[in-house]
Structure 1
Amino acid sequence: MKKLLAAVIVVVLVFLAIWTVPYWTHGSKDVVVTGVDHKVMKDHGQVKDVYLVFTTDETYKNVDSPAYLKFNSSDIQGKLIQTGRFRISYYGFRIPMFSMYKNITKAEKIS
């Protein structure tokens, strides 16, 4: 019984770690924005706006994030439409095979 309980706890902790690991990977960076795009996607039957931000070195997404209390993706995207040099804050991973992008949480124009 103790081994079963320990195994269940380990499985729960592994799934919890996998689910939350993108939130441990926050950072900031100066980038040159070269373009933006807006996609409407279905996620579990719900329609969801996904903004993509193209830079000279990689692509980011810009979506609302309740975990970061970020609910202003449209406002951030409005800034990024101007293109140019920005200081961004982000979290997450870029894994092209799974269409995963780092999510922008803040953006400031720097030049």
Structure 2
Amino acid sequence: MKKTLRIAGIALTVIGLMFVGWVTTPYWSHGEAVVEVTGTTTKREGGRDVYLVFTTSGTFRNTDSLHYLKFDSSDLQGQLNRPGRYRINYYGFRVPVLSLYRNITRAEPAP
């Protein structure tokens, strides 16, 4: 019985740590890059718009982010509709199997 409780405790601890890691991902997976935007599109997902930005460095998404207090995705998408070089800030990971993209938090034209 003690062995079963110990295994259950360890399993719950591991699950808890995985949850904390998932929730805090935006804070430790951010970066900055200069990219060449080649195109954009909008797709409907769960009743809301998800903006995708295609670059020579991969695909990014552009959605509002409570973690970064970003609520201007449509304005940012309008700016990124013009092909060119941009300096972007992003967070997250690209996981093709799960259709997960890095999320752009800021973009400005790069010289």
Question: Pick from 16, 40, 45: which aligns with 1:36?
Answer: 40
C-alpha separation in 1, matches of 2:57 and 2:17: 34
Kept in 2: contact 1:62–1:73 (CA 8 A)? yes
Task: Show CA shifts across 1:55-98 (max 9, x none).
Answer: 01200000000011010101110110111000000000011111
Deviation of residue 39 (structure 1)? 0.8
SS in 1 for 2:67: helix
Identity %: 50
Give the structure 2 partner of residue 23 of structure 1.
Answer: 27
When normalised by structure 1's length, the TM-score is 0.85
In the alignment, is the contact (CA less than 8 A) between 1:35 and 1:55 conserved in 2?
Answer: yes
How much does 1:50 deviate?
A: 0.3
Distance in 1 (alpha carbons) for counterparts of 2:18 and 2:53: 31
Instruction: State the partner residue of 1:62.
Output: 62
Deviation at 1:8, TM superposition (A): 3.2
Contact 2:26–2:67, Cα closer than 8 Å, also in 1: no
CA distance in 2, matches of 1:77, 1:85: 14
Q: Any gaps of 5 or more consecutive residues in structure 2?
A: none
Q: Could you say what secondary structure the match of 1:67 adopts?
A: coil
Aligned position for 1:97: 97
SS of 2:70 mapped into structure 1: coil
Q: Which runs of 5+ in 1 are unaligned?
A: none
Aligned length in residues? 107
Q: Distance in 2 between the 1:58 and 1:7 partners?
A: 36
Residue 77 (structure 1) aligns with:
77
Work out the CA distance in 1 between the residues paired with 2:107 and 2:32: 9
Structure with the greater alpha carbon radius of gyration = 2
